[in-house]
Structure 1
Amino acid sequence: MRKLSDAEQNKIKVLTKYQVPFTLIEPTETGLKKSIMDATGAVRSFLEEENIHNYESQLQGPKNKVLMPAVIYEGLKIIKSTASLYRPLTKNGDPRIWFYGLSNFADPNDIVAIIYYDNSFQVFNLTKMDVEGLISSSIGNPLQELILEINTTENEVALELLAILRKLASKGPIPSMVDADTSVGRTLETALGIDINSSKQPDYKGIELKSFRGKRNNRKNLFAQVPNWTLSKFKSSQDILDAFGYDRGDDFKLYCTVSAITQNSQGLSLKLDSDIDQLIENSNNPGIGDFVVWTLDKLHNRLREKHKETFWVEADSIHKDGKEHFQYKLVEHTKKPITSQFDLLIDQGIITLDHLIKRNSKGKVVEKGPLFKIRPKGIELLFPPSETYALI
């Protein structure tokens, strides 16, 4: 796709501001004449991530063409259309997409925006349409209705959760459930009636909750993910514990942070290998070397899965009668992490890894991680611009 003009970039910022999921495509002169466009990697990813269509599972040929409803927006009117998604018998079945009637609304090398909403493609000419003017217009119009409806739908659960948190915060400080670093999160989830478990799914109707004490520069949990044991030299957490653990009281444990910019006291460090798309944990012991591996694909998917939408809840820690209480006071609302930034933040030591492995006196090995954590300053680097809400 060609480089976007400043005006087109500003229109994209408007769509992003309203939290509209979309992709872009650039029809060519030949494509407009032949009513055909290549479904580029960006388009295919959008269709797959939004659970609209997967070209990889589509067979080639006209018999396997998929037709879906579409609407084309032009100024103050809309035109009903049909989207065609197919793979031809020729050219290795390269994925194609077309919107009937698009040639009447786009010139060669215009940028066309594709949205999917209400079980239908919503399409408009980003280059020619006054996106901001139509959305902010005092006169109602189809594009304005579409964007505002999407924005309301996208925020419906967030507004519901925000109202619950504000009601909870209005009751004042809440006694801590347990005497532990994790109590700030466990107390909030218990107060909200959320089961405390190790599920990989977000906590509240698709929104992940992450709580932390204010005035601390502590790292924040992103997600837990075990290595790919098949690709790794070590085949279990027990192997890691046996190699690097230490005695502590009645337990034999390995509680440590591992970073890409320095070796820890156990001689452990992380390294990225972009050529094979892997994150590797290494020991400075020449007899061990590289011992566990994560594929970057898996880590990116976990990040997207866990943090599609997140409330980072800040609380003041208050001690009353010798017991810690939490006054939840602020929410930072983030959406859709930029997965390409994850690798950079690992490399810069802003995202690190914690091992939390121990063997108790009965010989049972327990692993609470490995936990991938991010320093507070990294939040704004990993996620698009966020919204902040006061709870009190």
Structure 2
Amino acid sequence: MRGSNWSEKEVSAAVTAYLKLYSAEKNGEKPVKSHIYNDLSKLHPNRTPKSFELKFQNISAVLHNENLPYCNGLKPRFNYQKLLRLVVLDQLDRTPIPSLEPHEILREKLSFLKNKGAIKADKKGTGKHGLALEEALGISANSSKKPDFMGIELKTKKDKSLQTLFSRTPSNYNYAIDKNDLFRKFAYQDPKRGRKALYTSFNNTPDSLGFYLATTDQKISVMHKNRELCSYEAEDIESALLSKHTRTAYIYITAKSSPPSFTINSVKYCQHPSIIRFLRLVREGKIYLDFTLSEKGEKIKDHGFLWRIKGDSINTLYLSNEDLI
């Protein structure tokens, strides 16, 4: 009956057909997926061709969660039944898929998207291209701090402008007691929005407000006219780097405004960020810290203490770099 739970026979048929499709694609063949769905529906009339298509996407999700390669054009749908995972793993035990490293799987998926052409990016905001890419890869939108794709963080870039690495509050406050005190001491009036704000971006050279970064082997100090406002312990910076950027793919794109979309140009895969290199880049003026504080009513709104790196210095931060595309 349509709408009821899938039987083991139906699930097994879907998994068998999916694995045959994957094998055919790896051999350079181009099976017509709609024909496969129609054939399955004829054999199992309680299921429509569309339901088999969705089941195939569920199978992609199982394989994705097992860090295994999956069919192109069938982005993962993660709301699958437990039975499906058991059947997939059982069939893989008898007919295993050759394992690939996560970055090799990512290379396959991004190459497929690149060859497919423009990717729609009609959401608002500065992160719209990253969100559109995640959607194209079947990555569910969430607020998780974990890396995006099989342990790999994804970053889209249009140019060599500053790239945000992470947001981190200071390890210690000194002259400024906390972020509220920092705001009270240094906020300025924003005439355009009729509010007080503290938005600035600075490196080792004083900005127009007098903020700059200074380093030792163990910490980074946020300075204002020779006075230490707050500081970051090197181990806290290293923790932030490793939590998100142990493995990162930087996807360089060309964006279009009409219609809102982008195409993939190249992909750089970077591994193992170095805190020693990070500190060196701070001393060289290649790393920036952004304050993003504003007043909303009686509260101070904080969009994060953002650490950013110059686009042409990204490779230098990592011990290993590889061109995926």
Structures share a fold, TM > 0.5? yes
Task: Note the 1:195-274 alignment, pairs <5 A.
Answer: 195-213=140-158, 216-229=159-172, 231-246=173-188, 247=190, 248-260=192-204, 262-274=205-217
| CA displacement at 1:233 relative to structure 2 | 3.5
| CA displacement at 1:349 relative to structure 2 | 0.6
- CA 1:251–1:202 in structure 2 vs 1: closer, same or farther (change >3 Å)? farther
| CA displacement at 1:380 relative to structure 2 | 2.2
Higher helix share: 2
> 1:359 is matched with which residue?
295
- CA–CA separation in structure 1 for the residues paired with 2:180 and 2:313: 31
Amino acid at match of 1:234: A
Task: Note the 1:1-392 alignment, pairs <5 A.
Answer: 156-213=101-158, 216-229=159-172, 231-246=173-188, 247=190, 248-260=192-204, 262-274=205-217, 277-284=218-225, 289-320=227-258, 323-360=259-296, 362-390=297-325
1:77-117 alpha-carbon deviations (Å, 9 max, x no partner): xxxxxxxxxxxxxxxxxxxxxxxxxxxxxxxxxxxxxxxxx
| CA displacement at 1:168 relative to structure 2 | 2.8
- CA–CA separation in structure 1 for the residues paired with 2:235 and 2:246: 16
- CA–CA separation in structure 1 for the residues paired with 2:143 and 2:178: 19
Unaligned segments of structure 1, at least 5 residues:
1-151
Any idea what SS the aligned residue of 1:345 has? Answer: helix
- Contact kept? 2:196, 2:294, Cα under 8 Å: yes
> 2:28 is matched with which residue?
none
- CA–CA separation in structure 2 for the residues paired with 1:244 and 1:197: 34
How many residue pairs get aligned? The number is 226
- CA–CA separation in structure 2 for the residues paired with 1:315 and 1:356: 26
| CA displacement at 1:171 relative to structure 2 | 3.2
Any idea what SS the aligned residue of 1:384 has? Answer: strand
| CA displacement at 1:295 relative to structure 2 | 0.4
| CA displacement at 1:326 relative to structure 2 | 1.1
Amino acid at match of 1:203: D
Unaligned segments of structure 2, at least 5 residues:
1-97
Amino acid at match of 1:178: K
- CA–CA separation in structure 1 for the residues paired with 2:140 and 2:176: 33
Moved over 4 A (4+): 195-198
What's the RMSD between the two structures over aligned residues?
2.2
- Contact kept? 1:173, 1:318, Cα under 8 Å: no
Higher relative contact order (CA 8 A, sep 6+): 2
* TM-score where L is the length of structure 2: 0.63
- CA–CA separation in structure 2 for the residues paired with 1:175 and 1:240: 41
- CA–CA separation in structure 2 for the residues paired with 1:185 and 1:200: 15
Any idea what SS the aligned residue of 2:324 has? Answer: strand
1:31-86 alpha-carbon deviations (Å, 9 max, x no partner): xxxxxxxxxxxxxxxxxxxxxxxxxxxxxxxxxxxxxxxxxxxxxxxxxxxxxxxx
| CA displacement at 1:324 relative to structure 2 | 2.9
- CA 1:240–1:198 in structure 2 vs 1: closer, same or farther (change >3 Å)? farther
Amino acid at match of 1:255: Y
* TM-score where L is the length of structure 1: 0.53
- Contact kept? 1:309, 1:336, Cα under 8 Å: yes
1:204-228 alpha-carbon deviations (Å, 9 max, x no partner): 2211111111xx3301111111102
- CA 1:187–1:241 in structure 2 vs 1: closer, same or farther (change >3 Å)? farther
| CA displacement at 1:235 relative to structure 2 | 3.6
- CA–CA separation in structure 2 for the residues paired with 1:193 and 1:240: 41
- Contact kept? 2:270, 2:318, Cα under 8 Å: yes
| CA displacement at 1:341 relative to structure 2 | 0.8
- CA 1:168–1:197 in structure 2 vs 1: closer, same or farther (change >3 Å)? same
- CA 1:252–1:176 in structure 2 vs 1: closer, same or farther (change >3 Å)? farther
- CA–CA separation in structure 2 for the residues paired with 1:164 and 1:335: 19
- CA–CA separation in structure 2 for the residues paired with 1:280 and 1:198: 29
Amino acid at match of 1:259: N
1:213-262 alpha-carbon deviations (Å, 9 max, x no partner): 1xx33011111111024x534243222222222224144322211211x1
Amino acid at match of 1:252: K
- CA–CA separation in structure 2 for the residues paired with 1:290 and 1:337: 27
